Chain A
Amino acid sequence: MSREIIRVEDLWFSYNGHPVLREVDLVVREKAFLALIGPNGGGKTTLLKLMLGLLKPDRGRIRIFDAPPAAAAHRIGYVPQGIHIEKGLPVTALDVVLMGRRMPGSKGRGHGNRDKIAARHVMEQLGIWDLRDRPVRGLSGGQRQRLLIARALATEPEVLFLDEPTANVDAKGQGELYDLLRALNARMTILLVSHDLMVVSSHCHAVACVNERLHYHDEAEITDEMMGAFQCPVDLIAHGHPHRVLRSHED
């Protein structure tokens, strides 16, 4: 069995008195490709942020590489939802990727040649090297999404967290993105928050349904019939209209 990368035990979190997550247990092993699905407000993004140490749990324990999140989160490449990014800021695409080259504890305030080579490498990988001198505010939603992925990859992560990476991307872009993620999965663990059932069924090894509680379904359960067999209370948005895909958990 491969190495344990993430362990979450009896995690509880509330926001302004409203429970967001309760009794969450989760183990993620090396090279896993796990999708977090669930309704909006179900706690998917919150769970990512707890594992990154950006939020503090009310109760429970989180270990990343057998260390507290604050000590290990820099080994995670984080691709946030693009909507929170400060779009007015005058920075070029290359500037943004270089932001990922800052290593914790490094006193180096500038960017050396090594950083620029690394930034170029990931930007070429994502097909955005041509955009390097373009201001971020002029980029399309899909380009901005790739840029955030490039910034995360520039950190040379061992784990990749992606929050709704396909929200602003067209069908062709989505296909390319998933091919890339599959290739990256050969060398890193991936956690993906997604509404997109296609990716869940065809790419992921495991699915966790997050709606206050977390229900884990491993590879053996992901079959063609999983849509019916799964029992997660989620409304999934597919092709522009919502439809209920999975039946309720019995708890």
Chain B
Amino acid sequence: MLEILQFDFFRHALIVGFLASILCGVIGTLVVINRLVFLSGGIAHAAYGGIGLSIFFGIPFLAGTLGFTLATALVMAAITFHAKHRSDTVIGVIWAVGMALGVLFVDLTPGYHVDLMSYLFGSILTVTRIDLFVLTGTSLFVILSVGYFYHDLSSMAFDEEFARLRGVPVGGLYVFLVCMIAVAVVLIIRVVGLILVMALMTIPPFIAEGYAASLRSMMILAVALSALFTGAGLFLAFAFNLTSGAAIILAAAAGFFLSLGLKRLSLRWKKNSP
């Protein structure tokens, strides 16, 4: 089993999976505690518009998609900032429009048939060296900036109005957070696909939330869980010749249901032994 570690492509896939786990664990934690899961889903789907745009105009994938997705994310941030809990309709519309634009752009591109599957599930095994560099740089940036704003971010998530009274730049941090989500989504779609982004951004933080005593430990635990699921999924994919993205999601889902079961058991145990 371990001999597959000798293959370059597999080692690369593991490293990429780990870097994606850092992004997903840290940003996903912020997404989950700020209740931005639907917004992130909207950004991830609208990103397809950027993919279509890049293909149609023949611009490099990363630049085109990143530009389009950041613009979409900023529009969403502007619309949702004042009504965070009542903005699901707007997000739903942008979500659909982004995808439709992507499909139309691809239709209009002569002689081009993009594989929608690789967008949904990615292709972690065909990652390039440049992807690795970009991912590493972004992960470092995310860790440093979240570390710098750590107290402000947790104060904002706990009670936004109080945070604002204490001088926390709530509006700026919200826009910053939405932009980080957009960047992470674009980078990770490239390597593991849209479905996996959403799975990795929500499942590990959700499990971690139940055990963590602080935001910091929630992030670290989420990164670790995410890396565990990614690694397990990759091994399964290789051993049984499966699609890697789908295998990783199933590993994460197994973890999700396992943690639900454990929670249930520990509750019952607590009840029976007061």
Q: Considering only CB atoms and an 8 Å cut-off, how many residues of chain A contact the other chain?
A: 35
* B148 CB within 8 Å of chain A: yes
Residues B167 and A91 in contact, CB atoms below 8 Å apart: no
* Known contacts A99-B151, A102-B151, A109-B149, A86 near B165 by CB under 8 Å: no
Residues A88 and B33 in contact, CB atoms below 8 Å apart: yes
Q: Which residue in chain A gives the minimum CB-CB distance to B218?
A: A90
CB < 8 Å A-B pair total: 84
* B213 CB within 8 Å of chain A: yes
* A78 CB within 8 Å of chain B: yes
Chain A residues lying within 8 Å of B96, measured Cβ to Cβ, are none
Residues B166 and A74 in contact, CB atoms below 8 Å apart: yes
Residues A103 and B166 in contact, CB atoms below 8 Å apart: yes
- Closest approach, in angstroms, between the C-beta of A151 and any C-beta of chain B? 7
| Mask: chain A, 91-126; 1 = CB below 8 Å from B; 0 = not | 110011011101111100111000000000000000
* B215 CB within 8 Å of chain A: yes
For chain B, residues 151 to 177, give those with C-beta under 8 angstroms from any C-beta of chain A.
151-152, 154-155, 157-159, 161-168
* B128 CB within 8 Å of chain A: no
Q: Considering only CB atoms and an 8 Å cut-off, how many residues of chain B contact the other chain?
A: 26
Residues B150 and A74 in contact, CB atoms below 8 Å apart: no
Chain B residues lying within 8 Å of A84, measured Cβ to Cβ, are 159, 161
Residues B165 and A89 in contact, CB atoms below 8 Å apart: no
- Closest approach, in angstroms, between the C-beta of A202 and any C-beta of chain B? 29
Chain B residues lying within 8 Å of A88, measured Cβ to Cβ, are 33, 209
* A171 CB within 8 Å of chain B: no
| Mask: chain A, 74-86; 1 = CB below 8 Å from B; 0 = not | 1010101000111
Residues A91 and B165 in contact, CB atoms below 8 Å apart: no
Is chain A's binding surface mostly helix, strand, loop or mixed? Answer: loop
Chain A residues lying within 8 Å of B154, measured Cβ to Cβ, are 89, 91, 95, 99
Residues B33 and A86 in contact, CB atoms below 8 Å apart: yes
Residues B213 and A135 in contact, CB atoms below 8 Å apart: yes
Taken together as a complex, chains A and B put the C-alpha atoms of A173 and B164 apart, in Å, by 29
Taken together as a complex, chains A and B put the C-alpha atoms of A78 and B165 apart, in Å, by 8
Residue in B152, B166, B212, B214 whose CB lies within 8 Å of A100: B166
Residues B214 and A85 in contact, CB atoms below 8 Å apart: no
A-B contact pairs, 18 of them (CB 8 A): A84-B159, A89-B33, A89-B154, A89-B157, A89-B215, A90-B217, A90-B218, A91-B215, A92-B214, A99-B155, A99-B159, A99-B166, A102-B151, A102-B152, A106-B167, A109-B148, A151-B162, A155-B166
